[in-house]
Homo-oligomer: A and B are copies of this chain.
Amino acid sequence: MAHYPRAALRSVLNPRSIALVGASENPNKIGGRPLLYLSKFGYKGRVYPINPKRKDAQGFRCFESLAALPEAPEVAIVAVPDDLAVQAVDDCAARGVKVAIVMASGFGETADPAAKAKEARMAERARASGMCVVGPNSQGLANMATGAILSFSTMFLETEAKDGPIGVISQSGAMSVVPYALLRQRGLGVRYASATGNDCDVTVGELACVMAEDPELKLLLMYLETIRDPAPLEEAARIACGRGLPLIALKSGRTPAGQTAAQSHTGALANEDRVVEAFLARHGIWRARDTRELVDAAELYLKGWKPKGRRLVVVSNSGATCVQAADAATQHDLPVARLAQETREGLARILPSFATTTNPVDITAALLTNSGLFGQILPVIARDPAADAFLIGIPVAGQGYDVDAFASDSAVFARRTGKPIVMAVPQASIAARFKAQGLTVFTTESEAVAALAQYLSHMDLMQRMHALPPSAPPMPRRATGETRMLNEADSLAILQRHAIPVVEHRLCYSVEEAESAMAELGVPLAVKACSADVPHKSELGLVRLGVRDVEALHTAFGDFDRTLRLTNARREGVLLARMVRGQRELMIGAHLDPVFGPVVVIGDGGKYVEAMPDVQLLLPPFSSDDVRAALGRLRIAPLLEGVRGEPPLDVDAFCQVAVTVGVMMAFAESGVASVDLNPVIVGARGEGCTVVDALVVEERAQR
């Protein structure tokens, strides 16, 4: 972040003066649209169209060049193509422009190395002269509060604008305005709808930082196809967390096919998706899997609720809505609240005998006969202490029902409880009447529950972030230079230096040494060849388990020597280790991600780790509690507490080892580039855990 003057970035959101290089009279041209928008949306600052061939454009006086302007404009839009754009950027820098927004395409997003290099040089020159560049290939930025619509997107012609507490910041042009349009369809106001394009200089993360500083923003949505540098996103998350602003990110390229598409369309670097997932969660950023998840829950974030829990109460005039809402609630891990006896008695006094007074509360079709039932039961339910959130489902209403009473009763109820409430109303005309009362309405129960669950989970995630001590963003450690694989004995030695419990073992260079080691360690033993050239020893027959006598020891020595000679591998001794018994084999791995730095992987161990992975990722720094939570998300989680009469595992001991691995990975001084500890044999509670096989890769150059 160091080289980005935060003030310059603030000015691009709210510039006092704007130059437009390549200004056009035609409002449907890239160079014409911003002028149209600056008039149409009432921008109050100074506008300087640059076009040497015209006296004026769309009613604005034109200037011949940047040099001819009466002042250095804060922001310049570059709407000329190719090399003209490169020249314009240089001119902007020379003229003292703070931020240039480059709309021209054909740069880093193509497969052409020359175009990529041109982009890099352009950005480099701008940086050197202290100017920021947004783009190239940017559709532009929009601020509905000031009318500073520095964008050529057609969407601003097609959608009625309304300022509001939501920001959208995206690498893609389309994905800056599609969420905008969908939010507007829902009636929500949106302040920012901005696209950064190729992120050659200023990235989504940096603009997210300045948007997150806007005190009127209540929700910030991001669309990302690639993350080259996590630091600005971490900084944005830190700012957002500090003021309770929720961030939701749609990071596409979740799948290999998506990553291939992203690479061929924008030259995007492929991020390892499970690391992205862990990174976003680590910073309290909710990850949306698609556009729906990006926008569907948005309205809930604007209500200012302080949710206390996840227990849901469902009220409907249809049993089917009740059943489906209960199904959806379970699917999304929202418990169906158990109503108090008092509440049930209160409901029984109001509802007909064939209605249901347990939760979900089914008013039944009796509502058609008596529209008053609805308004009478809501206050009774509102008082129940078990109710954390509400779903009201009205699948059918209209003529014969007092819909306006339902809507105002619901609105009063929502205001009184102050608790999260969603509605499911499939009829558009009926939904509109609830929306008019300020209620959040979805078409189906499952959509309403999904949005509510996302909101509650995200609030909970943010709460946990708040609980963390505030810390300066750590300088992430990245892979550097050459690496070398260590043999098992050296690997175990490194772990021991970090106080990680490893199996008791001896490295022997002769059969005689081995015999005395056997006497010392006792039998049975694991006997393995030690060689930094053989990462997968068992596949070459270089591991013997349950060795009990000197004879077997001799055989192993002979066999190992022969195999290592045949495969031309270094012979670095033979390792004798105690056979360790425990309850379960788990694993811990760690590596340096090229973008996100240290990553620790914990999970079920054994030989099928690759074929049937059951793992969770952790990004250092993390605590024992974080490891415990990650273990709880594993498929094998039920086994940790002991099943079928087995004792519980020593989870504490395992968590401690994982934390230590995290610390070791976080500091460059350890020199460790990656570790693969599998199995880590975990004993019953109190018995500890032991690393019995280790593969460490060191980062230092070959010694």
Contact = CB atoms under 8 A, between A and B. Distances in A.
Interface of A: 28, 30, 105-106, 109-110, 112, 139, 152-155, 157-159, 170, 172-175, 177-178, 181-182, 185, 223, 225, 252-258, 260-262, 264-266, 289-292, 314, 317-331, 335-336, 353-354, 356, 358, 360, 362, 364-365, 368, 395-401, 426-430, 443-447, 539, 607-608, 610-612, 635-636, 638-639, 643-645
Contacts of A396: 153-155, 173-174, 177-178
B447 A318 contact: no
Given A105-B364, A174-B396, 14 more contacts: A28-B400, A109-B319, A155-B398, A155-B427, A157-B400, A159-B427, A173-B320, A174-B318, A225-B320, A253-B327, A254-B330, A258-B327, A261-B326, A290-B324
A430 B446 CA distance: 27
30 contacts: A28-B368, A105-B364, A105-B365, A110-B354, A154-B401, A155-B396, A157-B398, A157-B399, A174-B317, A174-B318, A174-B320, A175-B320, A181-B427, A182-B426, A252-B327, A253-B323, A254-B330, A255-B327, A257-B326, A257-B327, A257-B329, A257-B336, A258-B326, A262-B323, A265-B322, A265-B360, A289-B446, A290-B327, A291-B324, A608-B643
Nearest to A394: B174
Nearest to A225: B323
B185 A264 contact: no
A290 B139 contact: no
A701 to B, nearest CB: 32
A664 B290 CA distance: 48
Top 7 A-B residue pairs of the complex, sorted by shortest distance between their CB atoms: A172-B320, A265-B319, A174-B318, A258-B327, A255-B330, A28-B400, A290-B446
Contacts of A325: 261
Given A354-B110, A426-B291, A257 B330 contact: yes
A176 B290 CA distance: 30
B319 A445 contact: no
Identify the interface centre among A225, A324, A331: most chain B CB within 10 Å of its CB: A324
Contacts of A153: 396
A354 B139 CA distance: 16
A262 B317 CA distance: 14
A446 B256 contact: no
Most B CB contacts (10 A, CB to CB) among A155, A358, A398, A426 go to A426
Copies in the complex: 2
Contacts of A291: 324, 426, 443-446
A414 to B, nearest CB: 23
Contact of A185 (B185, B253, B368, B428): B428
Contact of A399 (B154, B174, B354): B154
A331 B290 CA distance: 11
Contacts of A28: 368, 399-400
Contacts of A152: 368
Nearest to A154: B398
A393 to B, nearest CB: 9
Given A323-B258, A368-B154, A173 B225 contact: no
A354 B106 CA distance: 6
A660 to B, nearest CB: 28
Contacts of A262: 319, 323
Nearest to A107: B354
A335 B429 CA distance: 40
B258 A330 contact: yes
A447 B289 CA distance: 12
A182 B424 CA distance: 13
B444 A292 contact: yes
Nearest to A335: B257
A330 to B, nearest CB: 4
A639 B367 CA distance: 56
A328 B253 CA distance: 10
Contacts of A109: 319, 354
Nearest to A263: B323
A644 B261 contact: no
A354 B540 CA distance: 50
B607 A636 contact: no
A106 B447 contact: no
A118 to B, nearest CB: 13
B323 A252 contact: yes
Contact of A154 (B154, B174, B181, B397): B397
